[in-house]
Amino acid sequence: MARGNALQKSSDIDSRFLFLSCSDVTEPLLVEVDQIYHLACPASPIFYKYNPVKTIKTNVIGTLNMLGLAKRVGARILLTSTSEVYGDPLIHPQEESYWGNVNPIGVRSCYDEGKRVAETLMFDYHRQHGIEIRIARIFNTYGPRMNIDDGRVVSNFIAQALRNEPLTVQAPGTQTRSFCYVSDMVDGLIKLMEGENTGPINIGNPGEFTMIELAENVKELINPKVEIKMVENTPDDPRQRKPDISKARELLKWEPKIKLKDGLPLMEEDFRLRLGVPRNN
Ligand code: UDP
Ligand code: UDP
């Protein structure tokens, strides 16, 4: 965003809310805050692979800047890390003690390894400077207001079904993901920030689905006539992913409430409005 817009005050919205349209988390930021939710980074594979050098700068220099800020003002900082730190996991479901199986030189590494370094930086600032840290390992998340052309699987399938285009299942289609509804995710992040545990803690929904099952669910819900088409996959796609959320249950008293079958229709409603596809059309 434009540097010239920095320090714009949104006093008409809420006097307690200040929106700083800063150019970039990879540049130093001088503000006074009590808590930092450090979420910055493209999370869709299409977007994080588009400019991989920038992705790794965001995770490394961006996290360093946020930690420098936390150190100067004495703020608590929460990093949204990722299930990608487990790579193509050799244990299932994934618990936090698992160190992962990540390709350090692959096309996904800018994101996977970037977040792994970000976690390391968080712990080094914690040990060396006493910074209060929180690390969430987020598993696949979906919900209303997601970018329609975000490129991730749930938004792709819903948009394709509404546009009457084939649902593109990337081969082999038996790979699994576990999808967490956005309000559950936000609830988990706030509980982690406000609690006493540094993490890392998995925040995700353990309901696990193959991509073929997901396509079939979306087809049945939105457009029973739509075609499901098998397309080529991308390199290093993890074959399975399901969070073990015992730690979140025990330490944060958190677990997701919204099942995929209840979350998908909420996202469908929002996509129908934005794509201009009314029901019964
Ligand atoms: N930093 C920032 N905002 C602050 C304080 C620091 O963006 O309020 C940045 C700073 O530019 C530096 C990074 O955070 O690049 C790390 O800061 P730290 O003080 O830990 O390291 P140093 O500046 O001593 O290298
Ligand atoms: N995928 C798919 N069709 C799509 C987009 C993705 O079958 O149009 C698959 C992809 O191969 C992966 C899974 O869906 O196995 C999740 O991909 P996504 O990009 O949503 O997130 P990831 O978990 O890979 O970061």
Among candidates 149, 122, 105, which has minimal Cα distance to 64?
A: 122
Whole-number percent of the chain with pLDDT over 70: 94
pLDDT, one tens digit per residue, over 92-123 is: 999 999 999 999 999 999 999 999 999 999 99
* Position in ligand 2 atom list of the atom nearest CA 140: 23
Cα(34) to ligand 1 centroid in Å equals 16
Please name the helix (run of DSSP H) or strand (run of DSSP E) that holds residue 170, with its range, or none.
strand 167-170
Residue 22 reports pLDDT greater than 70:
no
Backbone phi, psi, residue 268, to 5°: -60, -45
| pLDDT tens by residue, 120-142 | 999 999 999 999 999 999 999 99
Strand 201-203 vs strand 167-170: parallel, antiparallel, or unpaired?
A: unpaired
Nearest Cα neighbor of 136 from 39, 227, 253, 35 is 39
* Tokens 């030189």 -> residue: 105
Decide: 65 in ligand 1 pocket, CB within 6 A. yes
pLDDT at 281: 55
Range of the domain at 100: 35-275
Q: What's the confidence (pLDDT) of residue 12?
A: 55
What value does the mean pLDDT take over residues 26-47? 95
> Which whole number is the average pLDDT over 226-242?
97
Q: Which of 37, 48, 86, 111 is catalytic?
A: 111
Per the domain annotation, does 55 fall within a domain? Answer: yes
Q: What is the pLDDT of residue 6?
A: 45
111 is an active site residue: yes
In a domain, 15, yes or no: no
172 vs 23, residue with greater confidence = 172
Q: What integer pLDDT is reported at residue 5 of this predicted model?
A: 43
Number of domains in the chain: 1
* Ligand 2 contact via 175 beta carbon (within 6 Å): yes
Q: Is residue 152 part of a domain?
A: yes
Task: Of 245, 166, 238, give the one whose Cα is nearest residue 202.
Answer: 245
Q: Is residue 71 part of a domain?
A: yes
Residue for token pair 């540049």 = 27
Q: pTM for the full model?
A: 0.94
Instruction: Report CA-CA distances (Å) from 275 to 143, 148, 153, 266.
Output: 15, 9, 17, 14
Dihedral sign for Cα atoms in the order 261, 266, 271, 276: positive
Tell which phi-psi region holds residue 141, choosing left (phi > 0), alpha (psi between -120 and 50) or beta. Answer: beta
At 17, the pLDDT band (50, 70, 90 cuts) reads confident
Residues with Cβ within 8 Å of 164's Cβ and at least 6 positions away in sequence, in order, are 223, 225, 226
Task: Tell which residue, 221, 164, 199, 247, has the closest CA to residue 82.
Answer: 199
pLDDT of 51-87, one tens digit each? 999 999 999 999 999 999 999 999 999 999 999 999 9
Q: What phi and psi, each to the nearest 5 degrees, are found at residue 24?
A: -175, 135
For residue 257, what is the domain's CATH number? 3.40.50.720
Q: Is 279 exposed, middle or buried (0-12, 13-18, 19+ CB in 10 A)?
A: exposed
**Cα(69) to centroid(ligand 1), Å:** 6
Q: For residue 1, name the pLDDT band (cuts at 50, 70, 90).
A: very low
Distance (Å, whole) CA 223 – CA 241:
27
**Is 19 within a domain?**
no
